[in-house]
């Protein structure tokens, strides 16, 4: 992909991420005590310098005490101020050199403040929850906090044995000693820092559906009192998984976990290979089923295929919202065109001052972005016809599997499947603020 996405700071969060190097693996070993909300950890980052020698580099990290930092095993100069950990190796790192950074740190994790409230590590009444989108990851570990920098993760968390620890990836081992248990997870798929989810709570765990020989293992983790309601509300998730694999291509990760935290959450949040819901999303009447579909669809759109920077967030939310409509259509509820009509009516009655392709930081999570994003996907479906449209989507998720994308890459990709040019369609839906008529 073009170089400018790789090297420029994120236009919405210029203080997050450092384009002068990239991380290809994080190894986190954390010890968490819920009652004092105390986290002690070591993070080892395996990284590669960019095209220029590195005299210094920056990680993002919250307000922790740093016990020590080593670069390639050697002590180094560093400062931690305002969420920025600046590291100056004893001698500069050569261009393209592989290097490791070890950070030993401890403290009381707290959310990163943002226009949308606290992001990242949240202390719950009993346990903790991490939902980092877009810039909450530094609330609990040092990272190169930009969506385009994707890495593999190994995460070990030690917590009191009464708690279950859930994160994305495969549980390799669970070891109990005296009163604590250590959970070791491996996520080999390239993962953006904002998508590293974590939940520590007292849960019951169930298997959803029968993964069979080739199916995706799906687990649910929730407060035991919610068993009956959870079982009804998530009963159709295995069918969604089958449908989305048919429509979007193979599920991009090794497994999928859903967690219901014992807390009310404004909205569910996707993470790599897992999604986090609140108790308010479980009613035993499938009242939030569209959200179950939405979060699952993010595993393809957002998690495997990730935005190069936050201007392009409609590429996450448009297809995930449209997946709700596809699920509705395929499960015998309302067809997508009816839901598109309703969304169009609702948008027509609201201010039309949003540019979908670059909404600005203030509007990146605006409901209108989700709705208009889905309508844009619907307009493309209309222009391509179903056969070409679904072929286009499957190829999009295949070509960019575990990669990063931009709006320009999507418009160029979709155009290859169209019987006639899509320039006008994309101009009005993506770049003009006025709502176009529904096709």
User: To which H or E segment does residue 414 belong?
Assistant: helix 407-415
Q: Where are the domains of the chain?
A: 1-193, 203-299, 306-431
Question: pLDDT tens-digit profile of 256-290?
Answer: 999 999 999 999 999 999 999 999 999 999 999 99
Does 203-299 match 1-193 at the fold level?
Answer: no
Question: pLDDT tens-digit profile of 412-432?
Answer: 999 999 999 999 999 999 999
- Find out whether 298 is annotated in a ligand binding site: yes
DSSP 301: B
Catalytic residue among 105, 324, 370, 371: 370
Question: pLDDT tens-digit profile of 61-90?
Answer: 999 999 999 999 999 999 999 999 999 999
- Find out whether 329 is annotated in a ligand binding site: no
Using the predicted structure, report yes or no on whether residue 378 has a pLDDT greater than 50. Answer: yes
Q: How confident is the model at residue 2 (pLDDT cuts 50, 70, 90)?
A: very low
**Angle (nearest 5°) at CA 61 between 73 and 45:** 35
Question: pLDDT tens-digit profile of 135-163?
Answer: 999 999 999 999 999 999 999 999 999 99
Say if domain 306-431 classifies as CATH 1.10.390.10.
yes
Please check whether residue 167 is in contact with residue 121, taking contact to mean a CB–CB distance below 8 angstroms.
Answer: no
Annotated active-site residue 153? The verdict is no
- CA–CA gap between residue 206 and residue 53 (Å, rounded): 50
| Other residues' Cβ atoms within 10 Å of the Cβ of residue 177 | 9
Please check whether residue 300 is in contact with residue 252, taking contact to mean a CB–CB distance below 8 angstroms.
Answer: yes
Please check whether residue 128 is in contact with residue 37, taking contact to mean a CB–CB distance below 8 angstroms.
Answer: yes
Region 196-208: what's the mean pLDDT? 97
pLDDT of residue 1: 36
Q: Against a cut of 0.85, is the pTM above it?
A: yes
Catalytic residue among 122, 295, 324, 371: 295
Residue 370, exposed/middle/buried by CB under 10 A (0-12, 13-18, 19+)? Answer: buried
Q: How confident is the model at residue 213 (pLDDT cuts 50, 70, 90)?
A: low
The residues, ordered by sequence, that sit 6+ positions from 310 with a Cβ below 8 Å of its Cβ are 10, 11, 12, 13, 134, 147, 361, 364
Using the predicted structure, report yes or no on whether residue 291 has a pLDDT greater than 60. Answer: yes
- Find out whether 104 is annotated in a ligand binding site: no
Please check whether residue 407 is in contact with residue 415, taking contact to mean a CB–CB distance below 8 angstroms.
Answer: no
- CA–CA gap between residue 17 and residue 37 (Å, rounded): 26
Question: ω into residue 134 within 30 of 0, thus cis?
Answer: yes
Annotated active-site residue 163? The verdict is no
Question: pLDDT tens-digit profile of 91-128?
Answer: 999 999 999 999 999 999 999 999 888 999 999 999 99
Superfamily of domain 1-193 in CATH is: tricorn interacting facor f3 domain (2.60.40.1730)
pLDDT of residue 4: 40
Q: Under CATH, to which class is 203-299 assigned?
A: alpha beta
């Amino acid at each position: 992909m073009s170089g400018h996405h790789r090297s420029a700071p994120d236009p919405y969060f210029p203080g997050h991420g450092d384009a002068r190097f990239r991380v290809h693996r994080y190894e986190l070993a954390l010890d968490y005590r819920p009652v004092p909300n105390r986290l002690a950890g070591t993070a080892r980052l395996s990284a590669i310098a960019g095209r220029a020698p590195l005299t210094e580099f920056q990680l993002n990290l919250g307000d922790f005490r740093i016990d020590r930092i080593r670069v390639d095993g050697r002590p180094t100069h560093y400062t931690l101020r305002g969420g920025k950990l600046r590291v100056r190796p004893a001698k500069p790192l050569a261009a393209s050199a592989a290097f490791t950074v070890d950070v030993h740190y401890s403290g009381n994790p707290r959310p990163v403040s943002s226009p949308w409230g606290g992001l990242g590590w949240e202390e719950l009444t009993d346990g903790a929850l991490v939902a980092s989108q877009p810039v909450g990851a530094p609330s609990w570990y040092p990272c190169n906090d930009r969506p385009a920098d994707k890495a593999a993760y190994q995460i070990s968390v030690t917590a009191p044995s009464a708690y279950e620890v859930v994160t994305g990836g495969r549980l390799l081992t669970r070891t109990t000693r005296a009163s604590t248990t250590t959970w070791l997870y491996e996520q080999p798929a390239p993962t953006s820092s904002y998508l590293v989810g974590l939940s520590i709570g007292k849960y019951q765990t169930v298997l959803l559906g029968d993964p069979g020989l080739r199916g995706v293992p799906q687990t649910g983790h929730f407060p035991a009192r919610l068993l009956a309601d959870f079982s009804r509300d998530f009963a159709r998730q295995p069918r969604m998984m089958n449908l989305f694999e048919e429509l979007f291509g193979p599920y991009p990760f090794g497994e999928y976990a859903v967690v219901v935290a014992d807390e009310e959450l404004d909205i569910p949040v996707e993470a790599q290979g897992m999604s986090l819901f609140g108790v308010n999303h479980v009613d035993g009447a499938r009242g939030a089923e569209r959200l179950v579909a939405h979060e699952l669809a993010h595993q393809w759109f957002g998690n495997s295929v990730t935005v190069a920077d936050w201007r392009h967030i409609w590429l996450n939310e448009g297809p995930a919202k449209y997946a709700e409509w596809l699920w509705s259509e395929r499960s015998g509820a309302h067809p997508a065109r009816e839901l598109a009509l309703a969304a169009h009516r609702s948008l027509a009655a609201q201010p039309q001052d949003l540019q979908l392709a670059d909404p600005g930081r203030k509007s990146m999570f605006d409901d209108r972005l989700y709705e208009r994003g889905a309508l844009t996907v619907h307009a493309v479906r209309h222009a391509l016809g179903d056969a070409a449209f679904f072929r286009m989507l499957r190829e999009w998720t295949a070509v960019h599997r575990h990669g990063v994308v931009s709006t320009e890459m999507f418009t160029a990709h979709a155009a290859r499947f169209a019987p006639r040019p899509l320039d006008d369609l994309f101009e009005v839906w993506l770049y003009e603020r006025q709502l176009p008529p529904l096709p």
